[in-house]
């Protein structure tokens, strides 16, 4: 009888540990991430982590997902605290049909030119600022094969 209780306890712990390990799902960012060929997010209600690199001024990565009116969209940008990125302050834009536009103080002409708007689209822009961003440490485990 004791063995059965121990097996149930071990199985329960494994199930709990598995759920914790799936907090963020990695998003495949190997594709081009252009307006014409965006990276597709299959379900915007899941927590995804995308690691990508912008390499030149006005560079942009595009992600595509389907949402319904009333859906909440949570997104964030994280910029590592390293010397070469001290002046890097990216903007985040949500682009789509039916959106009211909020350009965060940027000129509509400049925004439209950078983002290649279509006639039926609006955009909500959020500007990244190191002064208003929290600094945090996210530990990770590194396993080396010997």
Residues in the chain: 146
What pLDDT, in 10s, does the model give residues 78-98?
888 888 888 888 889 999 988
Indicate whether 124 pLDDT > 70: yes
Indicate whether 134 pLDDT > 60: yes
Residues near 50 by Cβ (< 8 Å), separated by ≥ 6?
26, 27, 29, 39, 63
What pLDDT, in 10s, does the model give residues 41-57?
999 888 888 888 888 88
Indicate whether 20 pLDDT > 60: no
Indicate whether 74 pLDDT > 60: yes
DSSP assignments along the chain, one per residue: -HHHHHHHHHHHHHHHHHHHHTSSEEP---S---SSSPEE-S-TTS-EE------STT----EE----TT------------GGGTT---EEEEEEETPPPB-TT--HHHHHHHHT--TTEEEEEEE--GGGSPP-----------
Domain ranges of the chain: 24-132
**Among the listed ranges 12-21, 76-85, 135-144, which one has the minimum average pLDDT value?**
12-21
Tell me the pTM: 0.71
- CA 42 to chain centroid, in Å, comes to 13
Q: CA-to-CA distance for 121 and 13, rounded, in angstroms? A: 48
Q: Note the pLDDT of residue 39.
A: 92
């Amino acid at each position: 009888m004791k063995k059965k209780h121990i097996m149930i306890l071990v199985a329960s712990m494994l199930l709990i540990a598995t759920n914790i390990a799936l907090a963020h799902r990695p998003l495949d960012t190997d594709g081009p991430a252009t307006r014409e060929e965006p990276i597709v997010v299959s379900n915007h209600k899941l927590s995804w982590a995308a690691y990508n690199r912008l390499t030149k001024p006005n560079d942009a990565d595009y992600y595509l997902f389907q949402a319904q009116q009333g859906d909440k969209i949570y997104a964030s940008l994280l910029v590592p605290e390293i010397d070469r990125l001290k002046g890097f302050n990216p903007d985040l834009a949500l682009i789509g049909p039916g959106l009211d536009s909020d350009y965060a103080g940027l000129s509509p002409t400049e925004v439209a030119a950078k983002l290649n708007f279509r006639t039926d689209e609006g955009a909500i822009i959020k500007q990244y600022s190191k002064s208003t961003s929290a600094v945090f440490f996210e530990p990770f485990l590194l396993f080396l094969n010997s």
